[in-house]
Amino acid sequence: MPKSVPRRKRREARRRAVVFATPEGKIQFADPVARRWLKQFFRRPVRAGLLPRKVCRWLAGHEKKRIASSFVAKEQNARLYLKREKSYTHQSTIVLLELIKGKGEEWSRRHRHLTPREREVLFWVGRGKSNAEIAAILGIKAATVGKHLERIYPKLGVENRTAAISLNSEN
């Protein structure tokens, strides 16, 4: 990536990858990074050009509109977020992968007074995502994200999003 691209953007690009697959999970194209992450988080290499079984089941459920638009695979100190993007053909599904490192067990212990969903919302707020973006990632409505934030602020002893981000980054 050219040096003219800001350092933050270059770093973010290294934490993202893409996979094109059929709705049944047959890989049509995958970044080498995506293949490595799939092997790392699902404990087996991408076999015979197919996505891991859990991802295939998620895609199949998503096709039937019964499941969230994102899928999370967790490891000790990292998370792999998979998000299905709209595709303009029926033969191909686009899956975006984003690797998030850090904020693992220690971060969860510090925020144990929050529910698991509130911790997820707070995590994404700390990453600079809007309510609409968080809603898309978690497969919920933006109003629900707002409601979670209303409950998070008093628990953290803050009054607004900026204070929550500031407190979150200090921890």
CATH 1.10.10.10 domain span(s) along the chain? 105-170
pLDDT-derived band of residue 106, with 50, 70 and 90 as boundaries? low
Contacts by 86-93, CB closer than 8 A, 24 or more apart: 90/23, 91/22, 92/20, 92/21, 92/22, 92/28, 93/20, 93/21, 93/22, 93/23, 93/59
Mean pLDDT, residues 110-132 taken together: 85
pLDDT-derived band of residue 71, with 50, 70 and 90 as boundaries? confident
pLDDT-derived band of residue 1, with 50, 70 and 90 as boundaries? very low
The per-residue pLDDT for 55 is 85
Residue 107 reports pLDDT greater than 60: no
Task: Give CATH for domain 105-170.
Answer: 1.10.10.10
Residue 162 reports pLDDT greater than 80: yes
The per-residue pLDDT for 2 is 53
Nearest of 74, 82, 170 to residue 126 by alpha carbon:
170
Record the tokens describing residue 128, joined without a space: 């600079």
Of residues 160 and 58, more confidently modeled: 160
Q: What is the pTM of this model?
A: 0.57
The per-residue pLDDT for 142 is 94
Of residues 112 and 63, more confidently modeled: 112
Ramachandran class of 124: left when φ > 0, alpha when ψ lies in -120 to 50, beta otherwise: alpha
The whole-angstrom separation of Cα 64 and Cα 61 is: 5
CATH 3.30.450.20 domain span(s) along the chain? 7-101
For domain 7-101, give the fold.
Answer: Beta-Lactamase (3.30.450)
pLDDT-derived band of residue 104, with 50, 70 and 90 as boundaries? low
* Per-residue pLDDT tens digits for 77-89: 777 888 887 666 7
